[in-house]
Chain A
Amino acid sequence: MIKYFDLAVIGGGPAGMAAALTAYEDGVKNIVILERDDSLGGILKQCIHNGFGLHIFKEELTGPEYALRFTEKIKQTDITVMLNTMVVSATGDKTLYAVNPDYGFLTIKAKAIILAMGCRERPRGALRIPGTNTAGIFTAGTAQRFVNMEGILPGSKAVILGSGDIGLIMARRLTLEGIKVQGVYEIMSYPGGLTRNIVQCLDDFDIPLHLSTTIVSIHGKDRITGVTTAKVDANMIPIKGTEEFVECDTLLLSVGLIPENELTEQMGIKMYNMTSGAYVDQDLETDADGVFACGNVLHVHDLVDNVTMEGQRAASSAEEYLKKDENIKKDMPSILVKPGNGIRYVLPQHIYLKGEEEKIRIYFRSKDRYSDAVIKATADGGTIGKKKVIRLIPSEMEYVEINTKDISGISDITIEVEA
């Protein structure tokens, strides 16, 4: 069966829901959300802690509450929501193939597509943590699902590797469920998660955080019985002689999130190495005409509020695109945005000069921690954007604003930190 839509949004998490709603409000007709789970909301459904929505709603919501704000609104629209629908493949001409319980195998053709598939957790194997292959090792999000949605605990004594936000949240969650959390171990010299989570999830519960420390071996035959930890040097190589055995029956991994871009790559879309997401312009449009990306599939965010806003931006761009019949960008000058000193990645990675003046926020993450830093956007030796920040850390996304009137005739812009 073939179905036609003006806009297909792949993924019904925070990015996809915001994108579909905004597109609808902007007047796009005939929108579909393709969601693989049996309800909308994405990973928010299992995030029962609070802290969501401070920017968008100016109040503190739990994950399910935050999701509900959007699902309730979507219900009142005529956006088509296809649940339990998995897009299994996609082609560059905006054709999607999906499996759906009602229609079976479904072909979807859309005039515009918004990619909002989110991300997945980095598993043990990707880190090649040596030792035995035992039960009791979970990614933090999988454990969160078991505890919060299935009501089953992973074990009774846990070690957490990595100080990403989900790991920190789970340290608190497990403690509240009566599980002894032996410690959180982080290979970097600074924590991976938000400061507020370090304070509220570890400090408040006396859970030790061991920086510059990693796990060098996993023990146990059937179920994990413990781990060997070791300090690492400046190159993150374990230091011999610093090994310590830590007993546990559960190991949670919070060691990074990876955008789920298999479909994006199948569509032949150009990728950006530093984010593992698509290479996009200021409209969040990929190099495939009419295909946009937002949320964690584009780059991993630290706040859901930012994901929502990015979904809204992608939708506005898609709406603009749908109003026009041709690829209007192909003849426009394109200017590269490059990460300079101290910057890990930038977004967008290039900017089209559309002829009219446009203020553009260039989002970025730093490579390291800085205090009282100045962020500069430079082009041809001149400064075209500047921002002072009291504190700059890799786990918190920042942005600097530029104006397109300052960049005509130049080939690239560099974003850098001046500490």
Chain B
Amino acid sequence: MKYDVCIIGAGVIGSFIARSLSKYDMKIAVIERNVDVAMNASGANSGIVHAGYDAKPGTMKSRFNVIGCKMMPKVCDDLKIRFNKCGSFVLAFNEEGNGVLDELYNNGINTGVEGLSIVDRDFVITREPNVNPAITKALYASEAGVISPYKLNIAAMGNAIMNGVELIYETNVKGIEKKDGLFHISTEKTGNIRSDNKIDGHKKSVDDNIIANVVINAAGTHSDEISAMAGDDSFRIIPRRGQYILFDKTEGSMVNSVLFQTPTSEGKGILVTPTADGNLLIGPDASVISDKDGKCTTYDDLDQIYRTALKTCKKINLRKAITVFSGIRSTPDTGDFIIGESGRCKGFINVAGIESPGLTSSPAIAEYVEGIVKGILDMRLKDKYTMTLEGHKAFYDMTVNEKEEICGKDPGYRKIICRCETVTEKEIRNAIHAPCGARTVDGVKRRTRAGMGRCQGGFCSPHVMRILSEELGVPLNTIVKSTSDSCILGRYSRD
């Protein structure tokens, strides 16, 4: 199959690039090795919209962070993603820390960050009554906030699919060859989730050879390998794992903003934050690992995270933890984001090494990459396209009157599937049928929050699996959790 542009990787970067390019009259494919989008770093991170005072002025990290932070409110509005602009504090606990705050503040001012100020202890304690009273000062950033990273990723890809982008799931890139100015990408299926294909946007790989004029490498931790396939081995990705502990919504109001600790000689510190959906999150640590897909948590590191978080807020209660998880950062050996057409391969664009603040930067990076592609291909805007999604307010977030109204109109809302998060049957069916819809139990969970609550799917997972099986038209025991081979159940007992 021949495409104008082929994007490798459906993380938040690949998805936003797909969305930006989907305005133009051309054929675009996104190749994703997993069953869903946002399956790696984009799905497991802190969900912070960073203000941008952190990165060194002049770097790509700094530039795209600042622009991305300014773009985020409108992007979230367009994609109907909740952006809680709750602000952030970097907390200092001693003179050394106070000095770090000044450096960060000056850095931010030089970079063009708005809404920055150094604030005293009383200011912080008024806003954050549960903060450790031992703090001395803080750097306050009013423009920072929290979003759901996977929901942003899903929405960006959903938007791209609405504009005609083809998402090819469960497909690994095995080689890239350039012949007569065209890229020949050989692929291999990594799995084959069964579905009768009546769901929109579920494009199966039609052949294992994809041809494209332009290739965009957004392959996350594997982007160095993809780049090497195209003849550019100028950088390496060092996978660095970060672990998190997520707490019940009852703990979500423990803190009101993102609370960082100043990096000191003792360590980098970890953050304590409310999530966009109202939980409490602590983490991440950072450890270099050898396996790029080595997502796991460890006893000692989780213990260390908890103990470090207590420095920010002594009231964190481990009995209220509901899950632990980890994500893997794509740390580049160059020290900065790697974004641009490869010097060694024309038409091959690397968007690699996108670690933090990658989530914040993603819409800004996409806009920049759009410009690069424009310089290569002759692109015309489509007559008809959209940059906005229709919003569906979650039942959980509705007022009593809204609930009454929607239940009156649509019987699908009259059955609650997930008790903890009050998710209705209709919302789950919608999530399966939406562009970039769910095909796995975790896919439903990330789109609707069914199974995201304190019982972690204990009650609702059998029901979610039944609905998936009905909508996808496959037997119950072929439903998977998150990956192609993560079948949840075994055989029927009477088989």
Residues in chain A within 8 A of chain B (CB atoms): 36, 84, 86, 88-89, 97, 99-101, 104-105, 107, 120-121, 123-126, 128, 130-136, 139, 141-142, 145-147, 150-156, 177, 216-217, 221-223, 238, 249-250, 258, 260, 262, 265
Contacts and interface: CB of A to CB of B under 8 A. Distances in A.
Given A88-B422, A99-B407, A125-B246, A150 B462 contact: yes
A152 B407 contact: no
Contacts of B455: 120-121, 123
A249 B419 CA distance: 28
A327 to B, nearest CB: 27
Given A128-B297, A152-B477, 12 more contacts: A86-B416, A99-B407, A120-B458, A125-B321, A126-B319, A133-B325, A134-B481, A142-B461, A153-B493, A156-B490, A222-B486, A223-B487
Contacts of B457: 123, 142
Contacts of A126: 319, 321-322, 454, 456
B403 interface: yes
A99 B404 CA distance: 9
Contacts of A130: 296-299, 302, 324
B488 A124 contact: no
B486 A134 contact: yes
Contacts of B321: 125-126, 128
A153 B456 contact: no
Given A101-B415, A133-B325, A151 B493 contact: yes
Interface in B446-495: 454-459, 461-462, 476-477, 480-494
B494 A151 contact: yes
Nearest to A1: B404
A148 B105 CA distance: 61
A125 B457 CA distance: 11
Interface of B: 245-246, 250, 293, 295-299, 302, 318-319, 321-325, 400, 403-404, 406-408, 411, 413-416, 419-420, 422, 424, 454-459, 461-462, 476-477, 480-494
Most buried by A among B246, B457, B489: B489
24 contacts: A86-B419, A89-B400, A99-B415, A101-B414, A105-B407, A105-B408, A123-B454, A125-B324, A125-B456, A126-B319, A126-B321, A128-B302, A132-B295, A133-B482, A141-B458, A142-B461, A142-B462, A153-B493, A222-B483, A222-B484, A222-B485, A223-B485, A250-B490, A265-B250
B486 A223 contact: yes
Nearest to B245: A128
A379 to B, nearest CB: 32
B219 to A, nearest CB: 18
A132 to B, nearest CB: 4
A147 B493 CA distance: 8
A104 B296 contact: no
A265 B485 CA distance: 40
Tell me what chain B mostly uses at the interface: helix, strand, loop, or mixed.
mixed
Nearest to B406: A105
Contacts of A99: 403, 407, 413-416, 424
Contacts of A156: 490
A36 B492 CA distance: 27
A153 B455 CA distance: 21
Contact of B411 (A101, A125, A141, A154): A101
Given A105-B408, A153-B491, A131 B296 contact: yes
A147 B419 CA distance: 22
Contact of B414 (A100, A120, A121, A155): A100
A36 B425 CA distance: 13
A221 B483 contact: yes
Contact of B492 (A125, A139, A151): A151
Contacts of B422: 86, 88
B455 to A, nearest CB: 5
Contacts of A249: 490
Given A97-B400, A154-B489, A125 B322 contact: yes
A277 B56 CA distance: 52
- Going nearest first, the 7 A-B pairs with the smallest beta carbon separation are A125-B323, A104-B407, A123-B456, A222-B485, A135-B481, A135-B486, A105-B407
Contacts of B325: 133
Nearest to A223: B486
B292 to A, nearest CB: 12
A238 B299 contact: yes
Contacts of A132: 295-296
A338 to B, nearest CB: 22
Contacts of A133: 295-296, 325, 482
B488 to A, nearest CB: 5
B482 to A, nearest CB: 7
A132 B403 CA distance: 38
A101 B494 CA distance: 33
Contacts of A134: 481, 486
Contacts of B407: 99, 104-105
A132 B295 CA distance: 6
B415 A154 contact: no
A124 B297 CA distance: 13
Contacts of B456: 123-126
B308 to A, nearest CB: 15
A177 B408 contact: no
B324 A152 contact: no
A130 B241 CA distance: 14
A105 B246 contact: no
Nearest to A145: B462
Contacts of B494: 151
A42 B318 CA distance: 30
Contacts of B492: 151-153
Contacts of A136: 488
B297 A131 contact: yes
Contacts of B480: 135
B326 to A, nearest CB: 8
A153 B489 contact: yes
Contacts of B322: 123, 125-126
Nearest to B408: A104
B238 to A, nearest CB: 21
B493 A177 contact: yes
A338 B459 CA distance: 34
Contacts of B458: 120-121, 123, 139, 141-142
Given A101-B414, A153-B493, A217-B299, A120 B481 contact: no
B17 to A, nearest CB: 28
Contacts of B476: 150, 152
B459 A120 contact: yes
Most buried by B among A136, A141, A146: A146
B299 A152 contact: no
A276 to B, nearest CB: 10
A262 to B, nearest CB: 8
Most buried by A among B318, B485, B488: B488
